[in-house]
Amino acid sequence: MRWLRPFLFAVFFGSGASALLYQALWQRLLSLHAGMDLFSVTVVVAAFMAGLGLGNLAGGTLADRLTPRGAVRAYGLAELVIGLFGLLSPSLLYTWYPTLSPHLESTAAAFAFHFALLCLPTFLMGATLPLLSRALVRDASIAPDLGRLYGVNTIGAATGAIATAGPWILSRTGLEPLVLGAAALNALAGLAALALSTRVTATPVTPSTPTATTRAGLPWGWLVAYGLTGFIALGLEVVWFRLLNVVMSSNTYTFSRLLAVYLVGLGLGSVLGARLLRRVTSPERTFLWLQLATGLAALVGPVAVTRAIAAFGYPEWIPVRNVWIPLATLLVPTLLMGVSFAVIQAVVSNKLERVGRSTGALLFANTLGCVAGTLVTGFVLLAHLGTPATLRLFAGASATFGLGAAFQLPGARRLLGPLAVSAAAAALMLALPDATRFWQLLHGADGKGFVAEEDHSCVTALVEKSQGTHTLFISGEIQNGVPFDDFHVRLGWVPPLFHPRPLKVLVIGFGAGSTPFGLAADPRVSQVDTVEICGSEYPLVRALDDRFEQVRVLFGDPRIRFEVRDGRKFLVDTTERYDVIITDTLLVRSSHSGSLYSVEFYELVKSRLAPGGLLAQWAPTERTLRSVAAVFPHVARIGGPQITPADSFFLAGEAPITVDRALLLERLNATRRAGLPERQWDDLTRFLEGAFAEPATPTPPDGDVNRDLFPKDEYGHW
């Protein structure tokens, strides 16, 4: 077994990498149809983790009934089945899924469907650690072995996150080759495990010799405690990722980079904990102290970052925002979380003959806590309490574990210990700024004219850059602002002028409201549906209606309906047909923006257009135009005087796109919008007086376009 152990550890490392790749890639595939709002993402993650938890529990029970050789063989078979599912998953999750997803009208139905869809692979993933624990744990050093095993698997998962944390792979391959690569890792792990199983002893494990500290059954109280720490850990993860997403100015690779740091901390902490266990005399008390340290460390990073920004100014140097601040926030608390796993194993897994069951039960309890933490944080806490208050809540809850350890101190320290614990936690909670100051510092804004709103999906802020000018930030990224800017007003105002009867119009992306403001100027428009995933934008902009007539007119127009939805999911579900669809979308480097610039998205838009309908969208790249041209027979970039290609938009439809300047000016003069400055009216007039249509280049034979599974512009394929 001594020489086999490194090989089995290497196999489990690869298994961790493939599991993380699957989670990231399956989430992406499912989001194309289920949406990217918090509801959809949380339901998919919860279903994924529920399968893992049940696999932990069942795998542990099975493992204790097998010989070590049988456990390795079962592990190998599980990896082969996971790999087979992974191989088929693009077809299953991308092609077959849309036929059923429109019928998921409730949270319970969505959860049940996604759980059923993912239960086989996630169940088997959950069973792998208990199965290998049966094969590798051979003596009394149960907890250290399990800590190392968990650590190696987690570091493998971090490696999988790193693979998707930059353009080095995705910009060259897209999603499908990565799925195939993950399936290949599973196949190699499974075949290697089956080959190595012949070298593993077939004899059952000798039952442990009872001692004074050996329990007759599982310590359910400690399992519940570890479940609570899972609740807190995932809640903290959601909170940390939200605040760091703003600092790092969200792009398509931000989440993977943060997840890599998070997992590296967990994995290294677990390996470190395995080494430190020999020095631990009371694992129960050590576990409680570790939770106190985790809670305090969870606050130290954000407090230090906000204090540093307040003292030295907002860091403009990108490595500080993208590397040092995430490390300062995540590394220490995740290391402590990893050490905690090894220590709790010393409490729970104290008998060789039930090592699989105890490991499975521990992971099951933790996974249940993780699911609950994800759901409660996403659906309740962030929206109602905000990020700073939620961070205080979780850090305080984690720190209260330390009170249990403090009350076990001898003598006078039993009285002073709880006071010291409470004082340390309270001091850090008070040191964290309130919500307004917190987000002001992380946006690099001064204290004047700053306001922020949080909802389930986003952090949105308005920053008064100069007197009467407000810039809109969405997850730390500058979008547009108030007063309404020329480009977005033009994007809303001009496209309906090309349509003879634009009764119903859809706008995907509210921004600061300039696009729906512009298009509603046309009196021929009878209905404007505005769909925005970041619902906090609506109240944030609406609060300015006493200062800006544009805003007051926008929200006072009865024709405009405001919905909080994922734009693509709205198109999947709606039965409406629109005369004009305008997508006021994000920068191409933004996370998941590729789903709004792909050939498949344009096919979906085309299916929701009424006869003679038009699509209008910003034209950020030539590849975007080629992608539209692969779907619509007629596509043209609309330009005008002093308009650069970067400030242009395209129109697409079934009929040729022609510029009849006289007709367009006639229709323009029939429109007027209260609150529009005279300068912008003059700019619109000059634009149409010199407007021209530049036909898009036909899609080349090599298919250099954006696809759902290979959004080249988003992934940085230039």
What would the pLDDT profile of 446-457 be if each residue is shown by its tens digit? 767 899 998 877
Residue identified by tokens 């439809």 is 653
More confident residue, 477 or 596: 596
Mean pLDDT in residue range 692-713: 86
Residue 97: its pLDDT value, please?
Answer: 73
What band does 212 get if pLDDT is binned at 50, 70 and 90?
very low
Q: How far is CA 25 from the centre of its chain?
A: 12
Mean pLDDT in residue range 53-75: 89
What band does 266 get if pLDDT is binned at 50, 70 and 90?
very high
Q: Tell me what percent of the chain is helix, strand and coil, each rounded to the nearest 5.
A: 65, 10, 25
User: What sign does the dihedral 662-667-670-672 (CA atoms) show?
Assistant: negative
pLDDT of 411 over the 70 cut:
no
pLDDT of 495 over the 90 cut:
yes
Q: One-letter amino acid identity for 534?
A: C
What band does 213 get if pLDDT is binned at 50, 70 and 90?
very low
- For residue 599 the two structure tokens come to 């050939």
The C-alpha atoms of residue 692 and residue 702 are separated, in whole angstroms, by 29
Question: Which of the four CATH numbers 3.10.129.10, 3.30.1330.60, 3.40.50.150, 3.30.43.10 does domain 484-715 have?
Answer: 3.40.50.150
532 contact partners, CB below 8 Å, separation of at least 6:
509, 510, 511, 538, 562, 563, 564, 565, 567
Residue 324: its pLDDT value, please?
Answer: 92
Residue 138: its pLDDT value, please?
Answer: 59
Q: Where are the domains of the chain?
A: 1-203, 217-444, 484-715
- For residue 198 the two structure tokens come to 């012949």
Residue-wise pLDDT tens digits, 632-660:
999 999 998 878 877 889 999 999 999 99
Q: What letter does residue 353 receive in the DSSP assignment?
A: G
Mean pLDDT in residue range 538-550: 91
Mean pLDDT in residue range 59-65: 87
Mean pLDDT in residue range 245-264: 87
pLDDT of 329 over the 50 cut:
yes
pLDDT of 368 over the 50 cut:
yes
Q: Look at the chain and count its residues.
A: 718
The C-alpha atoms of residue 210 and residue 352 are separated, in whole angstroms, by 11
139 CB neighbour count, 10 Å cutoff: 11
Q: Mind spelling out the 3-state secondary structure of 363-387?
A: HHHHHHHHHHHHHHHHHHHHHHCCH
What band does 352 get if pLDDT is binned at 50, 70 and 90?
low
The C-alpha atoms of residue 57 and residue 71 are separated, in whole angstroms, by 15
Residue-wise pLDDT tens digits, 165-211:
888 899 989 988 999 999 999 999 999 999 988 888 766 555 544 44
Strand 504-508 relative to strand 527-532: parallel, antiparallel, unpaired? parallel
Alpha carbon distances (Å) from 225 to 303, 311, 340: 27, 39, 12
Q: Which range is least confidently modeled, 31-45, 328-342, 689-703?
A: 31-45
Give the percent of the chain with pLDDT over 70.
Answer: 92
Residue 30: its pLDDT value, please?
Answer: 80
- Among residues 535, 529, 142, which one has the least CA distance to residue 356? 142
Q: Which range is least confidently modeled, 44-58, 126-140, 249-263?
A: 126-140
The C-alpha atoms of residue 269 and residue 118 are separated, in whole angstroms, by 29
**Is the separation of the CB atoms in 460 and 534 below 8 Å?**
yes
Alpha carbon distances (Å) from 412 to 399, 406, 409, 423, 467: 21, 11, 8, 17, 60
238 contact partners, CB below 8 Å, separation of at least 6:
373, 374, 377, 378, 382
Structural fold of domain 1-203: Growth Hormone; Chain: A; (1.20.1250)
Q: Which range is least confidently modeled, 332-341, 624-633, 634-643?
A: 634-643
Give the three-state DSSP class for 542.
Answer: helix
Q: Which range is least confidently modeled, 360-364, 412-416, 568-572?
A: 412-416
State pTM to two decimals.
Answer: 0.89
Give the percent of the chain with pLDDT over 90.
Answer: 49
The C-alpha atoms of residue 623 and residue 322 are separated, in whole angstroms, by 28
Residue 211: its pLDDT value, please?
Answer: 44
Query: Quick check: do 1-203 and 217-444 share a fold?
Result: yes
What band does 2 get if pLDDT is binned at 50, 70 and 90?
low
Mean pLDDT in residue range 378-401: 90
217-444 classified as CATH 1.20.1300? no
Q: How far is CA 605 from the centre of its chain?
A: 25
What band does 55 get if pLDDT is binned at 50, 70 and 90?
very high
What band does 417 get if pLDDT is binned at 50, 70 and 90?
confident
pLDDT of 47 over the 80 cut:
no
Residue 591: its pLDDT value, please?
Answer: 81
| Cis peptide preceding 483, ω within 30 of 0 | yes
The C-alpha atoms of residue 251 and residue 170 are separated, in whole angstroms, by 14
- Helices 661-669 and 678-689 pack at an angle, to 10 degrees, of 160
* DSSP calls for 193-212: HHHHHTTS--SPPPPPPP-T
Strand 578-583 relative to strand 504-508: parallel, antiparallel, unpaired? parallel
Residue 210: its pLDDT value, please?
Answer: 47
Look over the chain and give the mean of its residue pLDDT values, rounded to a whole number. Answer: 87
- The top-scoring range by mean pLDDT among 70-84, 209-223, 474-488 is 70-84
The C-alpha atoms of residue 618 and residue 487 are separated, in whole angstroms, by 9
- Among residues 463, 457, 468, which one has the least CA distance to residue 478? 463
Mean pLDDT in residue range 203-228: 65
387 contact partners, CB below 8 Å, separation of at least 6:
239, 242, 243, 435, 438, 439, 454, 459
